[in-house]
Amino acid sequence: MKKALVPVGLGALALWLAVVAGPPAARPAQDSLKAFLPADGAVAGWSQDGQPQEFAGEDLYTYIDGGAEIYQEYGFRRVVVQDYKNGAGKSVSLEIFEMASPEAAYGIFTFKRSGRGRIVGLGSEGELEDYYLNFWKGPYLVTLTGFDGAAETLGGLQAVGAAVEAKIADTAPPPALVRTLPVEGLDANGLKYLKGPLGLSNVYSFYTGEGLRFAAALKAGYADGSSLIVLDYGTDEARAKAWPELRAGLEASGKFKPLAGRTGEEPVYQDPKGRFVAFRPSASRLLVAIAASAPAALNRTH
């Protein structure tokens, strides 16, 4: 069965929520994610509908029709899928993705959630919007999808999600890079954690692939309307090599107009939408600020 990727907005998330853990849960058998699936009777009123399906590695492309690439970019390992139903004919679809690391699970969570939903106390962070629920915990992303917005369906999403969450013992904080962001005015629900060009192109286009081989990146929004993108190249040397390449790519694209009088390491451009974009190298990172004025953009990078 192929599944279309559920479209979501580009909102994002709070820096991190405290994880209140109960007694340690048993780990699933290492050869299957099925041990995380709530059995019949584990969630009052809900039972499994059909048999679970598992997909690993490149097999994800046979399950997700148009959208598997972003999971692979973040670091996909495998997924188990199970449908649930209740006596009133309501249905819930459960997907448990095992990613390469907690960092990867956190990243794909920020990509999928809209930032406009309701925060739910599941996993390390969770969000319910319309009839979609996403949360991450350890290296796992859990996605539950209902098929209507009825209270019974929404209750089922959260009840099945809670049963899964109780089976996952692994916990981890968000990546350390998140804690480097300026906090004042930060839109806590506007954060995206990125691992490659597909994710980056969804939050901002540089109209070039030059100099964008970063190790990890963040995109955050602020109350004054500005945005900050942090490109972390892992080492000072990698950033020092990448920044001239990116700068040359920007200028060759014809999409960015250099601001007169700024020719040093911290140039300012106007992008195709008329926004001002300031760049500042900082050790292994390149800070990119986007704002309505040049002074505001420069202020955001310092």
Question: Residue 115: which CATH number?
Answer: 3.40.1000
Helix count and strand count (H, E) for the chain: 7, 16
Name, in order, each residue with C-beta under 8 angstroms of 175's C-beta and a sequence gap of 6 or more.
103, 106, 107, 193, 216
3-state secondary structure of 110: helix
Q: How far is CA 60 from CA 8, 84, 169, in A?
A: 19, 21, 25
- 155 and 20, same domain (yes or no): yes
Alpha carbon 297 to its chain's center: 25
Q: In sequence order, which ranges of 168-205 are alpha helices (DSSP H)? A: 197-203
Name, in order, each residue with C-beta under 8 angstroms of 99's C-beta and a sequence gap of 6 or more.
71, 74, 75, 76, 77, 105, 108, 139, 140, 141
8 Å CB contact between 115 and 9: yes
pLDDT tens string 65-90:
889 999 999 999 999 999 999 999 99
Q: Pick from 116, 132, 167: which residue ends a domain?
A: 167
- 265 and 143, same domain (yes or no): no
8 Å CB contact between 55 and 62: yes
Which two three-digit tokens encode residue 15?
């820096």
Residue 172: how many CB atoms within 10 A of its CB?
17
Beta bridge partners of residue 281, listed in sequence order: 286
8 Å CB contact between 248 and 288: no
pLDDT tens string 261-289:
776 778 999 999 999 999 999 999 999 99
What pLDDT is stored for residue 167 in this prediction?
A: 96
- 225 and 102, same domain (yes or no): no
- 104 and 161, same domain (yes or no): yes
**How many domains is the chain partitioned into structurally?**
2
Mean pLDDT check: name the lowest of 92-106, 155-169, 260-274, 287-301: 260-274
Which two three-digit tokens encode residue 268?
């300012």
- 159 and 232, same domain (yes or no): no
- 97 and 186, same domain (yes or no): no
- 275 and 227, same domain (yes or no): yes
What pTM was estimated for this model as a whole? Answer: 0.87
Rounded mean pLDDT, 120-128: 95
- 153 and 191, same domain (yes or no): no
**Cβ-defined contacts of 289-298 (< 8 Å, 24+):** 289/226, 289/227, 289/228, 289/229, 290/204, 290/226, 290/227, 290/228, 290/229, 291/224, 291/225, 291/226, 291/227, 292/225, 292/226, 294/259, 294/268, 296/224, 296/226, 297/226, 297/268, 298/266, 298/268
Alpha-carbon Rg for the chain, nearest whole angstrom, is: 21
What pLDDT is stored for residue 243 in this prediction?
A: 97
Q: Pick from 135, 167, 199: which residue ends a domain?
A: 167
The one-letter amino acid code at 102 reads P
pLDDT tens string 1-33:
444 443 333 333 333 323 323 333 444 445 689
Name, in order, each residue with C-beta under 8 angstroms of 238's C-beta and a sequence gap of 6 or more.
213, 215, 284
- 180 and 158, same domain (yes or no): no
- 161 and 279, same domain (yes or no): no
What pLDDT is stored for residue 31 in this prediction?
A: 66
Residue 26: how many CB atoms within 10 A of its CB?
8
- Residue 76: which of 207, 180, 198 has the closest Cα? 198
Q: Pick from 167, 200, 220: which residue ends a domain?
A: 167
- 14 and 61, same domain (yes or no): yes
Rounded mean pLDDT, 159-186: 94
Range(s) of the domain holding residue 69:
3-167
Rounded mean pLDDT, 210-228: 96
What pLDDT is stored for residue 213 in this prediction?
A: 96
- 137 and 63, same domain (yes or no): yes
For the chain, give the percent of residues with pLDDT over 70.
Answer: 89
Q: What is the mean pLDDT of the chain?
A: 89
Residue 138 has pLDDT above 80, yes or no: yes
